[in-house]
Structures are given as C-alpha cells and as structure tokens.
Structure 1
C-alpha cells in the first residue's frame, strides 16, 4: 500500500494537505481517520466525488510501502490502525508546521517548518514542480490557509503563506467559497452580539434570491463586528446576510454574500459606505434598528438580479428507471451511460431514487431479477424548477445527497447533481455545460391549446384525438400527439398526419385502439412502434423512448423513456412539442425546449450539440424546414451543421438515408432554394461527389422545377429525384457515376438514359428551339422517360418549354386508327420490318398534322404505291 494520512478528525488544513500531497504522490491513496470537523464534513457532502478517499476502517493488514503523513508529526494524533502501520512502513514522509509547539514522535523524511499552514509547504512544492491545479484545488488550499492563519491574523502567519495565497488566486481560487467554509473565533462580547443576531434573523425573498437580515443592539462599543457577521454567515450557511447592529448611538450595517446576482458593494455605496461585490459595510444616521431594516429592504431591491434557479443548472432530460424494471436492466443502463443514480418512476410518478452503489450490492448478492423498487430509496428530496440555486445547494449539504430531482407541474423535468452545482463556481475544474445555447428554455413550458384545436381542426380530426385520449385512459397510459402535427397547428396551418407517442407501452395502446376502431394493426416490436390503418387513414403509434447511438451516424437503439426525453431525441425545437390527449389534460401543450418561441422568432434550432453528429441527415432536414417556413437557421445550430459537414459525417451516413431526405427536399415548393442552401453548406458536393453548384446549374434547376408541375400532371407520375439527378450528375465520369449509383441505389435504366442524353441534350434542345417538326423530335425521343423530358426542359427557355409541351401533348393524343393487321388484311402486306416503318411513317405524318383519321387509309395507299414504283 501507498497511503497519505493526516491526524484524527481532520480540519481543513489536514484534508487540504492530503489532497495537495496526492498531487505530489499521485499513486498514493488518501485515508481519513475519525470524523472530519463540521465545516469539512459540509464541504465533503458537496465535493466528495471530486476528492475520493477511503476511511481508516477500509484499511487491511497489507504491508505499507510508502506513508505520507500531513499536518502532524505525532504518532498519538494518528488513528489507531494508522499508528500500527507506521512501524510497517518502508518509507515515511512528513509534512507539518509549528515545530516549536508540536512534539515530533515519528521518524522519517521531515518537512516541518514555522509557517501558518501545512498546506503552504505542499503548495510551494506544487508550484516549483509545475504541477497543474485548477480553481477548485486552489480554493480548497486557500480555505486551509485562511482557517489555519485566522484569516491571516494569527502571529504564526508568514510571508510564505501570503505568497502561497497569491499563487492560488492566480489559479482562480474562489474567495466566496473560502468565506463560506472558514471558521472564526470570537471573544465573549462578540458572542453576545452573535446570540442576538441568531435570535433576530429573518428571511426575505428578493427576486428569487433569499436575503437574510439580522439585528442586534448593545449600549457598548464592540470591536470586530465584521468577524461576528462572517461567523454568523458561516454558522447559518446562508447565501446573503445583512446584519444591522446598534452599538451605543451608532447603527452599523454589514453584509456578506456568495451570490453572483447581488451587488453588496453597490448597495453599501448607496448607503454611504463601501466595499466590493461580495462584502461591504456602512454606518447610518438613523435613530433605531427597525428604521434601518426598512431602509435595507427598500434599497437592496436595486442591487439584486434574478439569481440562478434550479431550471438554469439542472441536467435535462432525465434518464429514469421504472419501478418494475429488474436490477439487471437498471445496471445495464447505468453501465452504458455512466450514471451513478436514477430516479424511479411508477405510474408516471416519482417514487424513489436508486444509486449505483445499491445496484452493485444487489448484483453481488445475485439479485439481478428482482425489481429495482426493492432496493430504491424512497426518502425523496425534490425541488421545483424555480427553486433558487442557493437553496438547492443547502439542501444538498444538509441531507448529504448527490442528486436532487426537479419537478414542474408534477412532471420530472430535470435533475441537479453535485457536478451541476460545481459548474456554477468553477469553470475550469469541471467541463462546463453550455448555458442552453441551443435549446432556449421557454418561460411557459405548459400551455393549454384546446381552443386552438377547436378552431383550427376539422371536427373529424378533433373527435379522433379525443377518442385516442379516451383509449389512453382505458388502458391507464398517457397519450400525446407530437411532432409536425403540433408545429403546424401552432403555425395556423394544421396538417392531419397524426403521430402518437404513448408513455411506457405504445404497443399495448395500439392493440387496444385497433380492437376498438376495427383497424388493421401492423406492429414493429423491435422499435416499440405500431401503425393503425382504418377509414383510409394511417396513424403511427410509438412508445415514448430515448434513442441512443452506439456510434455517430448509426441507426439508434431504443429504450423506454418518458415524454420529455422522447421529445429531446427529436431534430429541432419546433418539432419537439407534444399535446396531451388524456381526458383530464386534453389540449395541454408540452413545450420543454422553447419550440413556441422559435416559431414566433422564425428560428430552426437543434436540441443539443451532438445532434448532427448523431444523425447527419438532420442537416438536410434543417435546410428543408428553413426554406419551407421561410425561417432562419439559428447561429449556433448553423455552426454545428458546418462543423459536422466539415468533419465528413454526411459521407458516413448510408446512401439510402441521404436519398430519403433528398427526395423530400425535391418535393418542396422552394426546392431550388433548398438545394442552393445545401450547396452553401458544401452539403451537395459532400453527398454527390463531383457535383459543383454553379449559376448555370441553378438556371437549369429553376427551368426544371418550372416544368415539373406540368409534367406531373401530363405524365401522371414523375420521379422528381431522378429528374434532379440528371442535372446534378450530367458531367460525371463513368467511375463517379458508378460510385453514386451504388451509394444511392440508382437504377441501371437511369444511368443508361443519362449517358444517352448527355450526348444528345445540346442538339435536341436546338431542335426544339428551332421548332423542328414534331416527327423529327419524336424520332430521337420516343424512348425517353418522363424524367428525361424534364431534364431536356432544364435546357429550355419558357417559350421553348411551351413547344416541348405541345409536342408531348401531341404525342399523347395522336393515335393510329389502322393497325399492322389492317395493313396485312387490306393491302396484302406480309409481316416484316417494312410494316413497322409504314406504321411509324403514318404516325409521324399525323404528328405533323399532314393527315388525320379521315385520310389515314389514303395516306397508306400512297405510301404503298410509292414504295412499289420505287421498287420497279
């Protein structure tokens, strides 16, 4: 074993020295003996995940290779097990201070000097060796120095302690944290004032911030009132404290805060005093304490901003476990996600929390098949979304819990962990969570849209949604209509494609609905989805789920989840809303991610920073929605799109998925604008290598899409995707064409026709521009597909397209009244190639208007006679 130990019942200098020693001896394990002092215990309740340690009871009987002892050189001050290990240790290194007043009873390599705090010695070594520390480390070491030097007032304080603090502040030590945990010693008179303040402390809510105001009075002059206030601040564990103290004829007002949202210095400056943002004081010319308190509560309003709330720092969405899940299932979730705890849901209610530690113990006891509710903790401590962070932090410390669920309107909307709390104070020690740069939290998550549903939806659709809500009530499941249906309803352009999400068991709901509606049911058990077919309508049903990706660009895996997490997996905020259909809450809109706000601001915004890496096809979707709705892709979302494209994620997606999205784009009214926008993102040349978007290509695409609506009406069906492919791929060599054919599953017929048209597109377009006879055009185009004609149209001006339309209409209406059989029966011709040539000649003459049905036979006679005379 290699251990770092300190004295029993460690104070901050002892514990911080252990942590600092760990920096110097990284292969050693920190051991704590006895119970840490109260303020150290409070600190560890919040930060124990950051600074792991074992207790003396965890030690075995192994031989000790190396023992580092800090903040003591006396065997008697060590824990009993550690005292036994001292004799077994091969190497001992000691760091301590105050050699003039401490007895040294342990032999070893000694670093014992007359300085204010042991941690100063270790900080000096850390600095000299260039070992990296972050702001959290620096803050812990600063707390130790301040506490052991009595805020630098003890005579044992040295310049070296000050130099160590200078170094720690250069490493961004947080003075507010120091003030929260440092202890103070008061004299008798100061303690009397402290007792009064404790008895007279009041809590006031100011703009979501809790401000505590305390009062005290004495006829004597009392010095060191600032120390008294700081001591009270420490004892009460409050975020903001203002004390009003009368001593004789003077009234002193002293304040302390750890909040980033209260400017104490500005407050005291207005009252005629001074200070800085975190602390200040003044003396006021008022006759009594109550009058001073009224003044304080009036003026403080100006210097309080809206502080961080639970909703601002919580992790969201929340991964949950259901109470009837097996311990084995929950263990797999924890192992895959790295979560150390999960809220437990039963009947859509939060009923407990299960930790990884409890799961591991159950696994070790072979309880894999037991329900997780058998090991969950039901001692729930929750907060609502508007709880100030200061209160959350206090709850976390008071109850010694590492995670607190956040509830809003009875819905579990987030969870706050120790890491979330630490982010608010330390920017470099914990990887910062973005302050919702993408998903802007709407101020109104829940909103009833029942009236809009009545006014905008056809009665048939409205009644159908009510029916689905009734089915949900009958099987005890929550049912929501989601996605584009909700988005379009809010945009006053309702669509009637219904997608339902059911919490917990969509298949059970679908089976019940199919039975009630006499509908055809198609289930997809693997994906927990189903489709209902009835009365010419299709309704898709999905189980509320969260999709997680084994690797970027791969198709997602699926697991049961809740509606909030199900919405979080979607592409954009405008598509991540749901309307509840159950009778009690029918018409309740759930908008967790600011979709309504983005609709109002005409923004396309993705939900998280990995959105386009997990599913790069969302890049095409973002452009499609931007163009369709005349919205703008939000700045951060655009940056993430460009980054994903630049890193080659589009190329990693299967061609089938890219094609599906591109086929949707070419169906849009503003398809050319969408293709151009994709080109601006470099997405066109990434998806179709060798394609370079130019002004000429844009002109061709515009001409193509001008022609398409007529072509679709004329031919009955035109594949827009293939029509556009003719334009995008017309300059590709054979190797590139074959690669794209394989990637996107292009047909061999398309490739053959593209190669043919590439050769003849210029002369053919010239024939049309020169208004050559229909028969001449027909002879070179009679095997061309509808998509091929659209490609030809891309080379034509509007007037020339009109001539092409006339040609195609003529071709579709001209029919021969005579057949090959007629030629054989009436004219004695024999079946031959000549027979086909005659029929084609008749058809061409009719195309050019040289003959019609009435003189078709005469034209045949003339052809036969002419052929006979030529043969003679």
Structure 2
C-alpha cells in the first residue's frame, strides 16, 4: 500500500501537490495528517478533485511506501511520522530548504522553487502527462498562493513558465481569483489594526525586522493578514504572534533570503521556506516568546556583507615623513584620490587629493604629509558590517575608510564600493529583472553556468584552485575573456586565474594537486601550468595561466607598462574594455561569485565595446585594433565615446611612439579571428591603416582580402589534412602590392619576428615567380609541370597563388591540391630489388618515370607499375 501525505494545515500548494503525486502514483491513497486551510477546504467541498482517506481508515501494517509532498520536516506530518519508524520506503517531493529534522528519503526530488506545484507541472510537461482543466486550476491555485500571485521575492522564472503552461491546459483564473481573494471581516480588520499598532522594529545586522502581537478569539487562517501587513509597512521581514484560546501562532514573512523565516520558526516546531513560515506552540508569556524569537533571529541573521568582502587589498600607502609633492606624484601615478599615512607599519591618518592640491597651491609642497593628514579618520576592522561602515561614511562625510588589523592597514573601502554594494542590495530587494539563469539565488553567481559550459576537467580544476586559495589565505579569480565568453554562452579555450597574493607559489601548489607541470615567469609574477588528461584513449593538453593580481602605470604614452602587485579590483581596472574586466571568485565560500566593478555585464547585454578610462588608447594604442577585433568577432558596437578616443589617439600620433611586438600580435589576432576584409576596412575608417604603412591602397587591399577570404573558404571545403595559418596568408595579401623595401619597412614597423619576416617575404616571392612560370594548358605533360612547380612550395604559398591566379591557373592549382598532390609510386625499392634490378641511381630514375606516368593518368595499379619497371629497368 502507498500513502501520499503533506504537512499539517494543508494549503493550496500542499493539496495541489497531493493531487499531482496521485497522478504519478495511481495506486496510492491520499491521507492528510490534519485539517486544511479554510479556503482550501471550501474549494475541496466545491469541486472534490480527488479522494482523501482518514488515518483511521488505513491499516498500518499494509503501508509499504510513504510519499511526502511540500514538506521535509518530520514534525510537520503529525501522526503519519509513525511510518518512518517502521522502515517503509519514503519518496519525497519538496521545495523547502533543508533542516535538522529532515525526513530521510529513499528517493527524492527537491528543488528550491517558488511553489512545489510548479515543479510537478514541469514533471507533467516533460513526461507528457495530460491534466484536466480542473487539475490545471488547482495547480495554478497552489502556485499563485505560494508566490503571492507571482509577486513574492521567492518567485522564480520557472513558476511563471509553469503558470503559462497551465493556462494553455485550461486553468480557470476566475476560479483562482475567487478562492484567493480575501475580503476582511470586521474581526479581521480589528486584528489587522491591533497588529499594526503593536509593531516594533529591530535593526539586526543592518536588516529591519518587525514583530507584532495580537489576540484572536476564534482560530482561523490569518496568513492573508500577514500579507496585508507586509504590503502596508516597509520591512525586510515580519513576525506576527497571534495569541488564541489554547495556543500561540507565529507567522513569518520575509523579503530577503538573508532572513530565512522557515529556518527560524523551525526552532519553535514549525517550518516553511525562507520567504514564508509558521509555527504553533503551547501557551507561554508573549514577552518571553519575543525574547526567544529575537535570540534566534540574531543567531541566524549574519551581516550580509562585512568589510573583508568588499575591501580592496593590498593598499598603496605613504610614510609619514614623505613630502606633499611626492604624495601628489603617487596619486597621479596610481590614479587614486586618498592614501593611508603610516609610521612604519602602523596607521596614523589619511591624506586626500583635495588637501594635497590645496597645500601645493599655498606653496607647501615640501611639507611632511603627516602635517596635513586627517589623524582622527574613521576606521573599521575586517569583520565590521558594511551597513555600519556605510552609516559612518555618510554621517562623517568620509569617502575613504581604512580597514585595520592590529593598527596595520589590510584594506580600504571607498564611497564607490559602498554605492555599488547599495545598488546590488536594491536589486536583491526589489527583484530587478535579470536573465533567466540569474535567479534570486544565482543572480551574481555563475557556478551553474561554469558547470554547464566548461568541461568537467576544467570545472574540477577551478574547484581545486578555490579550495587551495582558501588554504593559502589568498583570493583566486577566473578572469577576462573566459568570464565574458561564459556570460555569452560561448566556449573559451583560455583558463586565466588571477591570485591576490603570490601567484607563482600558488601555481606550484596547484600543479601538485592536479598533477600538472608548472613553468614560472618570475619577472612578470606569472606562471603557466600544463595539464594532460587521458580521455577515450587520447591525451588532451591544456594550459592554465596564473598571474599575481597587479596594477600598472605608464611613464609615457605608448610605453611598456610598469607593473606592481595589487588587488583584483586594480588588476581588472588595468584591462582594456569593460567586457574583459570581469572576474569570478573561486574561493570555496564564494565559488562562482561574479565580480563586475565596471559594468561589463551591462555592456555584454547591450553588445557594446567600452574602454575603462579616457587615457586607455594613449597608454596602449594597440587597444584600438583590439576594439575593432572584438567588435567584429563578437558583433558588438564600439561606443561613441570610445570611438572619439580612438580618433584622438590617431590625431595625436600616439601610434608613432609604439614599441615592441604588440602591434604585430594585435594585427595577427585581428586577421585570425575576424573577417579580414571587414576588419581592415574598419582600420581604414579610423585612419589606422595608414599607420601600418602609408603605401597601402585601401580599396585594393579590401578587394584582395575579400577574394582571399572566399578562396580560403573554398579551400576549407577540400578537407585538406595539411594545417595552414590563414592569418599569415591575409598578411601576405596586405604585403602583395608593395615592393620589397616597403614590405620590409611594414614588417619592421609592426615588429614582426625575424623568422616570420623572412618567411613571409620568401613566400610572396615564391608565389609571384611560380605564377609567372605557369604555361598554358597545351602540353601533354601539363600535370607533371604543375606538380613539379608546386610540390616545393608550402600550402600557404600555394593558397596565396590561388588568390592572384587567372581562372585557368586556379583550376590547375585546384587539380593539384585535390588529385596530384598526394600521388606517389606504389612500388618501393624492395619491389625493384625483387625484380632483380641492381640498386643504384637507376632506382630513382625508374620511380621518377613511374610518377610521371601516374601524374598523366597512366599506371593505375601496382601490377602495372611493376610491368613498367621491368621494361625500363631491363
């Protein structure tokens, strides 16, 4: 025998779930452990959706399976908990969080979703189980009641989709409205007024909690009154204590997952989920009950964020005896507006840019910084709640708060940090719409995306890296393009990790844990780990780049940057565009937490390329080429302001000061990752093409690159086994119409490596000579000529020839690539030896003759080759 049951005082979600379980377990009977809510009972008496048995009608010894829905608490199933002690099988369906008295199930489907009815609707949809309009209506009632008509913060997109599906299946919203609409009686109006007048607000770790008290003579469902109180007042959480004849009812409602009312009320024998819960207990003094309730609330509500979560570290600081002029230079160099002042390692005050500039204006540039530092500035500790820091910053009008540990500065929090945190809080509180995957619990956490779009091996390595960071007391972050591609649901070959701490030491430890090989680069505070994985009989190799979080500054425009150890925030700020300045925290506690200081998510959504600061192209002009590359590669638009900054960099001749291989590397990536004719035209539109070389004719180069792209597309259809570098072919097209000195000048200008420079020039020369040697197709040995002409050339040179060849020449090259290229004699020297032909130069002559015959379509088998060899070898 199978029994389906739910929690005491069953609501619409519980009854809808019982009905759903009955469809999945047709032989089971529904048994309630107690009564139904008043509205549910009225619906049941009106429509009789299914049969319910009483406990006394059940023969306990015959029960083999207990199916529990809409609760996982042993206490909440009343007398039916007796079956749990008899070893019956238990199947569990629930959407509430885990608790201490959870039922141990043999089979369970549990997910945190707004209503369990939504989960059952998904099951019906996946299994193609038909439902009647009445069943759809009951499921709709369950969803609407549990989610407050889809308005409660616990509502998910899945609940909305479930309602849409049920409406298509005939759910009647008139019936839903009829049974959920509550007109308050005179007694209920008095109770509502009493509760509102009794409310007391408590600020616990920055969270507002309201507690109210009232008396009700006749026991009845008052959950709708709790909703009305929540609608009237502005609070994060509400607890109502209702004193009845012989018991006390506590009802809890919450607008934030930080206050889990179901968990708090479980301490009083009740339960629920984070947004709603209730508990019933025997009589006790209300004053004592409120004290107990507050004690549990304080125990469960931890500060949502503390200083350690938001602070920037390490901190740029200045010693007390440095001059005001030196401090001003530091502020400009690092782009900061306030610096902690130290004496040795101890904090003694703060100096701001405004004070520094005024001191210089008054001729005090050689004064000691300590003379003008604010020595009574507000400071905080690592575990200070952010709400407390926010309060003091506003009241004291202080934009910069040092975070101290034993008088040492371990971090700082700025006004911008606080504003961003407040913005995030507003999103959490008011449920500003986000993409489907960024639900309330995963809005800023992309762990699920990582699991879905990264390979199992990579995901596990990132988990290990996070655990290691925790052990070493460091912060570890997945950064850059990998995060961007993750948010765009694109595969990414890169694994870049930034460590707040010693990146090389971290790399060595990580390599040990994942059995990888590490190559450190101490000069740059970076390391590369090679990891090999055997899968399906093949060895897969990939690299993990580890870098120490760093900041950089430029001593002059277009110069190579000077790099210093810093924080993740500073590390991200030195990057090129907002879409690449994203990070995902890997530490165990916050694994998957998305870090976005500069609006990268918004720009990905808006498909926009935007620089982080106005001197970006002055400091590194190659970012202009990179902007075009990302624009073409991702289909994004370069923002108007970013375009203006590119044009300004061109106007200021910043590119003329560029040194090193950066221009070459960016140009190669542009040609490799985008449609070359489109990208090069974009370079021309911004005036960047002439900077590569003034002799380039724009219209000619665009047409030639378009032709090259079409040719390569056709070549790729041939499925050639030989690999080739298409970006080098495109670069040779750019060089094609220049003379030798101009080619050398261009390659020198972009700092191409010497070996690449030599290879490109030789390939172009070989291609041009080979095209000149092509003769018309009137020779009997035309195939032999083509073979001898093209065989010495590499594939990139041959493809380059096809781009500039005449139509009949293209056909000949195509014939070579598809038919002639891999032709060779089937017989070997061993075969010739067996024929009695003495080894010597004659072997080569015979094999060359056989090859010539085969190229002309003769000698189609090994036997024919042997007969031919006999004739010419005798």
TM-score, scaled relative to structure 1 = 0.49
From the CA coordinates, give the structure whose radius of gyration is larger: 1
